[in-house]
């Protein structure tokens, strides 16, 4: 990937990246499952009896029915009423959800670049603007913004800059949604119910999948409360560090982000090892050596 500062300083991180076809991905796991799966049901309500969630009321092809279960896993993404029905507050800082507008775009050879590109700074306050080659004439382009309302103006400006830099491209399909990357998971477990994935601010597909595994293990051991404890022990520090870094980025002026990028332009990101704190510490020490005045400005 390439991280690009507002002034155009590029930091290259030579890690492999992948684009996931979400529909095929979902079907892949659905086909692998040997469980009794009913697909494309609309869950209308939770069945709650004496304060405990006992199942769900679903609608399929206009027919309503009850499905009873010892544990209900709410992996319903953002914007669902279901966690509220379970009296859970799975997201700690809902006002910090990044609102995203992303499009598949088409233009001559625009999908042939080698790097995913992430633009930071006032181009997308609070998170990032992206350009990801998809091969051939296709790419995806998006903006993710926090605490500035609707992303559409940022998206239009981002597209304008991309067209200037990479040539004409037309929008094929637009997606809008929320990414709770800095919104922090909170209360994920209730009586007979857990929240998992985007619905619990466990943003990122890999993180949502890991949360799913921890849920399954906790159910197998007959104690749902293990899910919250194990998830926090394994990942909470990473999320806290991520939120701190994104909040710092949001408060930085474009010129400070440029200074930050300049100080890191000779840093070998592939040499980073160890836990996220150790990595952050090494980056911090490098900037301290290169531009101590910047560190003083930022802390």
Ligand X SMILES: Cc1cc2nc3c(=O)[nH]c(=O)nc-3n(C[C@H](O)[C@H](O)[C@H](O)COP(=O)(O)OP(=O)(O)OC[C@H]3O[C@@H](n4cnc5c(N)ncnc54)[C@H](O)[C@@H]3O)c2cc1C
Residues that bind ligand X (CB under 6 A): 42-43, 75-77, 80, 82, 100, 102, 142, 175, 177-179, 197-199, 203-205, 208
Could you tell me if 103 and 141 are in contact, meaning their C-beta atoms sit under 8 angstroms apart? yes
User: Whole-number minimum distance, CB 281 to ligand X, in Å?
Assistant: 25
Q: Tokens 């199942």 — which residue? A: 55
User: Whole-number minimum distance, CB 39 to ligand X, in Å?
Assistant: 10
Residues in the chain: 299
Kindly tell me which of 26 and 70 has the beta carbon lying closer to ligand X: 26
Sheet of strand 189-190, all strands in order from the earlier edge strand to the far edge: 72-74, 193-195, 189-190
User: Whole-number minimum distance, CB 275 to ligand X, in Å?
Assistant: 20
Q: Tokens 């091969």 — which residue? A: 135
Kindly tell me which of 224 and 287 has the beta carbon lying closer to ligand X: 224
Kindly tell me which of 111 and 197 has the beta carbon lying closer to ligand X: 197
User: Whole-number minimum distance, CB 181 to ligand X, in Å?
Assistant: 8
User: Whole-number minimum distance, CB 203 to ligand X, in Å?
Assistant: 5
User: Whole-number minimum distance, CB 111 to ligand X, in Å?
Assistant: 16
| Exposed/middle/buried for residue 129 (C-beta within 10 Å: 0-12, 13-18, 19+) | buried
Cα three-residue angle 81-126-281, rounded to 5 degrees: 115
Could you tell me if 295 and 284 are in contact, meaning their C-beta atoms sit under 8 angstroms apart? yes
Kindly tell me which of 203 and 228 has the beta carbon lying closer to ligand X: 203
Pick from 98, 132, 97: nearest CA to 116: 132
Kindly tell me which of 121 and 142 has the beta carbon lying closer to ligand X: 142
Q: What are phi and psi of 161, to 5 degrees?
A: -65, -40
User: Whole-number minimum distance, CB 217 to ligand X, in Å?
Assistant: 18
Kindly tell me which of 39 and 164 has the beta carbon lying closer to ligand X: 39
Kindly tell me which of 75 and 110 has the beta carbon lying closer to ligand X: 75
């Amino acid at each position: 990937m390439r991280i690009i500062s507002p002034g155009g300083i590029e930091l290259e991180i030579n890690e492999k990246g992948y684009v996931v076809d979400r529909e095929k991905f979902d079907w892949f796991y659905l086909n692998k499952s040997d469980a009794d799966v009913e697909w494309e049901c609309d869950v209308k309500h939770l069945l709650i009896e004496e304060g405990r969630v006992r199942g769900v009321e679903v609608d399929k092809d206009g027919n309503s029915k009850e499905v009873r279960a010892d544990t209900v896993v709410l992996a319903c993404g953002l914007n669902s009423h279901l966690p509220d029905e379970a009296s859970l507050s799975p997201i700690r800082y809902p006002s910090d959800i990044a609102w995203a507008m992303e499009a598949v775009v088409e233009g001559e050879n625009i999908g042939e670049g080698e790097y995913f590109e992430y633009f930071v700074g006032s181009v997308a306050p609070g998170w990032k603007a992206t350009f990801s080659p998809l091969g051939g004439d296709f790419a995806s382009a998006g903006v993710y913004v926090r605490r500035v309302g609707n992303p559409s103006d940022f998206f239009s400006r981002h597209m304008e800059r991309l067209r200037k830099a990479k040539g004409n491209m037309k929008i094929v399909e637009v997606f809008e949604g929320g990414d709770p990357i800095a919104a922090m998971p909170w209360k994920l477990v209730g009586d007979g119910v857990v929240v998992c994935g985007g619905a619990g601010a466990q943003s990122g597909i890999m993180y949502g999948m890991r949360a799913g595994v921890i849920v399954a293990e906790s159910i197998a051991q007959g104690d749902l409360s293990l899910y919250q404890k194990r998830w926090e022990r394994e990942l909470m520090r990473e999320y806290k560090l991520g939120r701190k870094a994104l909040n710092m980025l949001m408060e930085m002026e474009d010129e400070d982000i440029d200074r930050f990028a300049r100080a890191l332009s000779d840093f070998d990101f592939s040499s980073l090892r160890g836990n996220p704190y150790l990595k952050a510490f090494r980056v911090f020490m490098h900037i301290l050596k290169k531009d101590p005045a910047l560190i003083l400005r930022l802390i």
